[in-house]
């Protein structure tokens, strides 16, 4: 029999909700997690699982760096199936203009204590022999890593459960009330605080949140151990990620510990259907082949799509929702939710317990004034 009176009711067992559940349970709070489908079944399971420091804005940098440091601390505790791989990232520059961006990025990281190494054309080829000739160079960020995110979410949930958290699954929340949530079978789950961590579904429960669905495609290959050694991302990725236009693709390839390659990426707004779009897949694979010509000879075994929970200023919403004193948000992580799940959980718990957070919280509050994006 479940207690039905919690300190915190968390909606969503994606990696963000799962991390929040673990963090709350660790503080001795009575936690319920309510998941409509399966643990890690939304964007968590559809994405790449790249743990990456990003520098689109100071606030994004602060949260990704903070979160990555939390992942580093956790790495040795993660079970085997999480497939943690400290492969690092190489940001690939295709021309002099992008090479200048590499140098700026290096200075930005270095000034803030994140290790990064500029590679010239020769060093880039030595690091990744399957990249085509004629690329200008790159930036290697050795502290970045890769995980299999759905298993990480499951691990967080299990840890939370071992601390007394209760998982309601599959249960659909239809309404956030003044004293908890209501499920679609009419059951009320009482909680002092409610956390909306429902990702792309979060606006349905909290109208007015600026979270939109942003569709992505991925392809996974057979096992080709050693084909790529780092997560490889084109610097032009930022152009794709920043573009708020309808669709874009960018070169983003990730080696898995199994030897498989995950090939991305695409971004589309205003597309609701889950089906894979052959034209997008074709463009995405062509883009990958421009950087890694050998990709064309590899065998792909699956492709799929997923939806990111995107906010207009690329920053998640973490903290209270004004006008609803029992409601907190932990959503809108777009393509960085795997990385920033751990930082989000810390910042959320700090707010629930009225503690001083380790990084400034203001940029992630829903009441923020958007910071202009500089990159």
Partner 1 sequence: MPREFEVMVNGARIGVTEDMTALVAIFLSGTTTLRRSVSGAPRGALCGMGVCFECRVTINGERYRRSCQVRCAQAMDIRTDE
In the chain, the N- to C-terminal Cα span, in Å, equals 52
Identify the bridge partners of residue 119 per DSSP, sorted by sequence position: 138
Residue 297: CB minimum distance to partner 1, A? 10
- Residue 100 near partner 1 by CB under 8 A: no
Residue 14: CB minimum distance to partner 1, A? 24
Per DSSP, 200 falls in state G
Residue 262: CB minimum distance to partner 1, A? 15
Select from 299, 323, 372, 374 the one that contacts partner 1 (CB under 8 A).
Answer: 299
Which of residues 230 and 256 has its CB atom nearest to partner 1 in the complex?
256
- Residue 77 near partner 1 by CB under 8 A: no
- Residue 301 near partner 1 by CB under 8 A: yes
Residue 221: CB minimum distance to partner 1, A? 9
- Report the alpha-carbon distance of residue 199 to residue 307 in Å, rounded: 9
Identify the bridge partners of residue 32 per DSSP, sorted by sequence position: 9, 166
- Residue 362 near partner 1 by CB under 8 A: no
Q: Hey, CA dihedral for 74, 78, 82, 86, is it positive or negative?
A: positive
Site for partner 1 in 113-142 (CB under 8 A): none
Annotate 275-309 with b (16+ C-beta within 10 A) or e (fewer): ebbeebbebbbebbbebbeebeebeeeebebbbbb
Residue 261: CB minimum distance to partner 1, A? 13
Which of residues 223 and 239 has its CB atom nearest to partner 1 in the complex?
223
- Residue 222 near partner 1 by CB under 8 A: yes
- Report the alpha-carbon distance of residue 51 to residue 75 in Å, rounded: 11
Paired tokens of 307: 């939806």
- Residue 204 near partner 1 by CB under 8 A: no
Total number of residues that touch partner 1 (CB under 8 A): 5
Question: Among candidates 114, 141, 119, which has minimal Cα distance to 131?
Answer: 119
Site for partner 1 in 243-272 (CB under 8 A): 258
CA distances from 105 to 56, 79, 112 (A): 10, 33, 11
- Residue 353 near partner 1 by CB under 8 A: no
Residue 128: CB minimum distance to partner 1, A? 22
Which of residues 76 and 299 has its CB atom nearest to partner 1 in the complex?
299
Residues 6+ apart with CB under 8 A from 231: 48, 50, 52, 87, 88, 89, 90, 144, 146, 252, 253, 254, 255
Site string for partner 1, 143-172 (x = CB under 8 A): ------------------------------
Question: Among candidates 282, 267, 334, 349, which has minimal Cα distance to 57?
Answer: 334
Residue 225: CB minimum distance to partner 1, A? 11
Catalog residues that contact partner 1 under the rule CB under 8 A.
222-223, 258, 299, 301
């Amino acid at each position: 029999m479940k207690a039905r009176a919690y300190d915190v009711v968390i909606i969503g067992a994606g990696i963000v909700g799962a991390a929040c559940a673990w963090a709350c349970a660790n503080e001795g709070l009575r936690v319920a997690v309510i998941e409509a489908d399966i643990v890690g079944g939304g964007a968590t399971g559809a994405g790449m699982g790249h743990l990456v420091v990003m520098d689109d804005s100071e606030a994004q940098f602060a949260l990704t760096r903070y979160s990555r440091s939390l992942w580093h601390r956790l790495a040795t505790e993660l079970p085997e199936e999480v497939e943690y791989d400290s492969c690092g990232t190489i940001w690939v520059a295709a021309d002099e203009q992008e090479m200048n961006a590499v140098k700026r990025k290096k200075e930005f990281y270095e000034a803030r204590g994140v290790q990064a190494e500029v590679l010239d054309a020769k060093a880039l080829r030595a690091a990744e022999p399957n990249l085509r000739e004629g690329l200008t160079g790159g930036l290697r960020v050795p502290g970045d890593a890769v995980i299999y995110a759905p298993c990480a979410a499951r691990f967080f949930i299990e840890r939370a459960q071992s601390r007394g958290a209760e998982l309601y699954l599959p249960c659909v929340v239809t309404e956030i009330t003044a004293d908890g949530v209501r499920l679609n079978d009419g059951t009320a789950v009482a909680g002092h605080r409610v956390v909306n961590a429902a990702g792309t579904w979060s606006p349905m429960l909290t109208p007015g949140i600026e979270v939109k669905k942003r569709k992505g495609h991925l392809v996974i290959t057979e096992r080709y151990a050693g084909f790529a050694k780092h997560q490889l991302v084109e610097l032009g990725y930022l152009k794709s990620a920043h573009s708020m236009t309808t669709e874009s693709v960018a070169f983003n390839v990730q080696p898995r510990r199994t030897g498989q390659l995950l090939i991305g990426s695409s971004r589309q707004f205003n597309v609701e259907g889950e089906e894979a779009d052959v034209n997008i897949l074709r463009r995405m694979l062509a883009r990958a082949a421009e950087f890694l010509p050998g990709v064309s000879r590899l065998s792909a075994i699956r492709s799929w799509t997923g939806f990111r929970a995107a906010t207009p200023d690329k920053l998640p919403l973490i903290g209270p929702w004004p006008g609803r004193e029992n409601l907190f948000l932990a959503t809108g992580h777009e393509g960085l939710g795997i990385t920033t799940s751990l930082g989000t959980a810390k910042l959320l718990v700090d707010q629930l317990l009225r503690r001083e957070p380790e990084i400034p919280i203001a940029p992630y509050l829903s009441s923020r004034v958007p910071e202009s994006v500089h990159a």
